[in-house]
Amino acid sequence: MIGILLDAPEVEVGGKVAGRVVGTPEKKWQAVAIEVGWRTEGRGTPEQVTVATVRRTPEEDGAFIAGASIPVDVPFEVEIPSEGPISYDGQIVRFIWCVSATLEIPWARDEKKEVVFRVVPRFIEI
């Protein structure tokens, strides 16, 4: 099983969402793919946008090694666009930001996890 640990559950537009993908897989794995993006739910045509994708293989980082029962610990940090959109939970439409991680396992079903976070407006002093 893998999990996603966020440094903060809320991020301002233009700020950075950061955290770690952690876990102990039961089978040998070859890479961790992390996506940050937003989607709409509700009335109208659904939309999904990926802001950033990070893919790490064991050869790229000495902090983790491919193999069964070897812990996964992959940090990430992605900047949220200053134009947003901000998170919104309305009756007609919702804007949902999330981090999703996929642990790629050869010849087996990949492990997937998703965590939702909020993007809020930036406070500006006048």
Distance (Å, rounded) from C-alpha 107 to C-alpha 120?
A: 40
18 confidence band (pLDDT: 50, 70, 90): very high
| Residue 36 lies inside a defined structural domain of this protein | yes
| Residue 25 lies inside a defined structural domain of this protein | yes
Q: 36: which 2 tokens?
A: 């940050």
| Residue 121 lies inside a defined structural domain of this protein | no
**pTM of this structure:** 0.87
Collect contacts of 91-97 with beta carbons under 8 A, ≥24 apart. Answer: 92/42, 92/43, 93/40, 93/41, 93/42, 93/43, 93/44, 94/40, 94/41, 94/42, 95/38, 95/39, 95/40, 96/38, 96/39, 96/40, 96/41, 97/11, 97/17, 97/36, 97/37, 97/38
Q: Give the total number of structural domains in the chain.
A: 1
| Residue 104 lies inside a defined structural domain of this protein | no
Domain containing residue 69: 2-85
| Residue 122 lies inside a defined structural domain of this protein | no
Q: Which CATH number do you get for residue 65?
A: 2.60.40
| Residue 107 lies inside a defined structural domain of this protein | no
7 confidence band (pLDDT: 50, 70, 90): very high
| Residue 96 lies inside a defined structural domain of this protein | no
Mean pLDDT of the chain: 89
The predicted-structure confidence for 30-63, as pLDDT tens digits, reads as follows 889 999 999 999 998 999 999 999 998 876 655 4
How many C-beta atoms lie closer than 10 Å to residue 118's C-beta? Answer: 16
| Residue 77 lies inside a defined structural domain of this protein | yes
